[in-house]
Amino acid sequence: MKGIIFGLLGLLLAAFLPPAASAMAGDQPAAGPRLVLTGHILGGHGEPVHDARLRLLADGRPLPAIGPDEAQGEGRSLSDGTYLLEARLPAPPAPGATLTLEVQKTSFRPLRLQLSLDHFARRGDALFQQKDASLVRVLGPAFWTATLVLLGVYILITLELLHRTIVAMLGASILLAVSSILGAIDPDFRIISFETAIHKIDLNVIFLLMGMMVIVGVLKESGIFQWAAARCFALARGNIFVLSFILMVLTAVTSAFLDNVTTMLLMVPVSIEIAVALGISPLALLIPETLASNVGGTATLIGDPPNIMIGSYAGLTFLQFLQNLSLICLIVMVPLFIVVRFFYGSHYHAGKVADPAAFARKLKEEYRITDRNLLGVGLAVLALVIGLFLSHGLFHMEVSVAALLGASLFFTYGLVTGKVKLQQFLEREIDWPTLLFFLFLFIIVGAVEEAGLLSLVADWILQLSRGSLTVSICLILWGSAIMSAFVDNIPFTATMLPITAYLTQAVPGAENGVLWWALALGACLGGNGTMIGASANVVTVGIAEARGYHISFLKFMKVGFLFMLISVAIANLWLLLFF
């Protein structure tokens, strides 16, 4: 009986015994050395290409698996473009033997590189080599599909046929569905994977917005915004244009030392209270303030995300940004006042008060601080958050972490003291449609970036510059401004960083860093062009809508795009004359 059992076990082991084991028993020749191949997969501008599929081929066929734990020479590049392939040759290599490295990625031309095994470094029983590969973009089905979806999203938002959050969700879902369904049939339609789409969502922005919404929402319960509205009106002495001037200057200065999104979260409630008290449309104050916030954010390293990216990549300091950009931002504020007066002068005239002094006393009486303890705690928490914002270079803490820390401290205080009702607060104070809009917009722009539209624009700028400093300045400035008005300026800035670095070294006269300032001015000032050109714009529109004040795409663009053209033209003249 035991013999029968052991016989059956032997047959089972033989049936499932891997080929490597058989080889060890002498049925197959001994396996060759282990191969280790590393390197970077790069795009045409030297940017990392992630999720590229790599295979090692021998005689046109993938390397076979020798055992259950042996790699087959296949893998994908990581987010930084690096890759690691491991495999074992089926037999010791003959002199002069070669392998083929095959690299494939949607929207790129397939690449096949010949690798001579004689050039691998030997270490023990392993062969090592580092090999970088550069891929060339192609405008295939993925490019045209992503571009058409982006255009469709902008058309629907402009015509306001659907709410912008629904439009963004529709666009993102179409891109993901096309990538999954058609991409399974034809890899050329694989625009963006679900994992890559999640990676494209900038949670730093989402969490920053959420944290500051909580802080502003709890702080509002103290009556500080109503009090600030009364003080601003008293300072303006009844002149509504002067009041708007004060608010724009305050917004610009604050945006230079906070980020412009946080500034608008703080300013919008104050402005709405002022406008309601004066009986004018809040849009006459909110749109000018939004434009001013983008101008102020341009002046410093921490005022706008593109500046942070540029400073980190080029090694520029807070002081260098302040020295090179603060004066031009101050100059640009002058035409902003003129544009605002032209578009909203009638609104300001209609809001004049017969007896400003009496009205100011009435506001002071009605708009008081209602909870000083809550205000004290709120200001302490806000000071902590601002301090963490300003110490970014010391702690390297993301701004979203500081905002979430402040929000959780503030929220905990409000819940413990009973001054905040959790469910009511979450429904009323956090603008969920705006957060969702950002989330879906990040996916759409990420898909367009993956498909190569941003790289196409960057290539166009690089080719047209032809070594001329004047042409390079104009192309980088205007190209960044126009693109930033219609797509998020963060991925476009990331695409332009290696191109700007190359031109800074290659173009005579660019050694002083003028092209970096052109990129910063274009990316930041260009955000004023449309309602979705900058994060601060979207936040302002979202809060205004939550309060019942609708800002249409065309109404914002009518003012913002004109000012964007004027401000970028002034910046262009400034760069050409003084750098």
Residue 537 contacts residue 261 (beta carbons within 8 Å):
no
SS3 at position 421? coil
Neighbours of 410 (CB within 10 A): 26
Closest CA to 473 of 416, 414, 514, 424: 514
pLDDT at 119 over 60: yes
- The range of the structural domain enclosing residue 84 comes to 32-64+71-89+98-134
Query: What is the predicted pLDDT for the residue at 207?
Result: 87
For 324-338, what is the mean pLDDT? 95
Comparing 89 with 146, the larger pLDDT belongs to: 146
Residue 139 lies in a domain: no
Instruction: Verify that 106 and 226 share a domain, yes or no.
Output: no
Could you report the per-residue pLDDT of 346-398, keeping only the tens digit for each?
888 887 666 777 777 777 777 778 888 888 988 898 889 888 877 766 777 87
Query: What is the predicted pLDDT for the residue at 67?
Result: 55
Residue 248 lies in a domain: yes
Locus of tokens 């690089």:
462
Residue 54 lies in a domain: yes
Instruction: Verify that 105 and 244 share a domain, yes or no.
Output: no
- Dig out the tokens for 533 from the structure: 């050109």
SS3 at position 18? coil
Residue 93 carries which DSSP code? P
Ranked by mean pLDDT, the top range of 83-87, 104-108, 174-178, 413-417 is 174-178
pLDDT at 72 over 90: no
Query: What is the predicted pLDDT for the residue at 346?
Result: 87
Could you report the per-residue pLDDT of 212-232, keeping only the tens digit for each?
888 888 887 888 877 887 788
Using a pLDDT cut of 70, give the percent of the chain over it: 92
Query: What own/partner pairs with CB < 8 Å and gap ≥ 24 does 3-12 have?
Result: none
> What percent of the chain is helix, strand and coil (3-state, nearest 5)?
65, 10, 25
Residue 458 lies in a domain: no
Instruction: Verify that 210 and 316 share a domain, yes or no.
Output: yes
- Dig out the tokens for 464 from the structure: 């047209």
CA atoms of 287 and 90, how far apart (whole Å): 68
CATH of the domain at 84: 2.60.130.10
Domain count, the chain: 2
Find residue 36's DSSP bridge partners.
86, 128
Instruction: Verify that 77 and 217 share a domain, yes or no.
Output: no
Comparing 337 with 438, the larger pLDDT belongs to: 337
Could you report the per-residue pLDDT of 488-502, keeping only the tens digit for each?
677 678 778 878 888
What value does the mean pLDDT of the chain take? 84
Residue 516 lies in a domain: yes
Instruction: Verify that 305 and 418 share a domain, yes or no.
Output: yes
pLDDT at 30 over 70: no
Instruction: Verify that 559 and 418 share a domain, yes or no.
Output: yes
Residue 298 contacts residue 574 (beta carbons within 8 Å):
no
Could you report the per-residue pLDDT of 247-290, keeping only the tens digit for each?
999 899 988 887 788 788 888 888 888 888 788 899 999 999 99
CA atoms of 230 and 202, how far apart (whole Å): 37
Residue 394 lies in a domain: yes
Instruction: Verify that 444 and 361 share a domain, yes or no.
Output: yes
Instruction: Verify that 116 and 210 share a domain, yes or no.
Output: no
Buried b (16+ CB within 10 A) or exposed e, 535-551: bbbbbbbbbbbbeebeb
Residue 266 contacts residue 379 (beta carbons within 8 Å):
no
Would the pTM count as exceeding 0.95? no
Locus of tokens 């500046």:
307
Query: What is the predicted pLDDT for the residue at 65?
Result: 58
pLDDT band at 480 (very low <50, low <70, confident <90, very high): very high
Closest CA to 394 of 325, 318, 322: 318
Query: What is the predicted pLDDT for the residue at 392?
Result: 66
CA atoms of 102 and 579, how far apart (whole Å): 46
Could you report the per-residue pLDDT of 503-541, keeping only the tens digit for each?
888 788 888 999 999 999 999 999 999 988 888 898 899
Residue 193 lies in a domain: no
Residue 179 contacts residue 192 (beta carbons within 8 Å):
yes
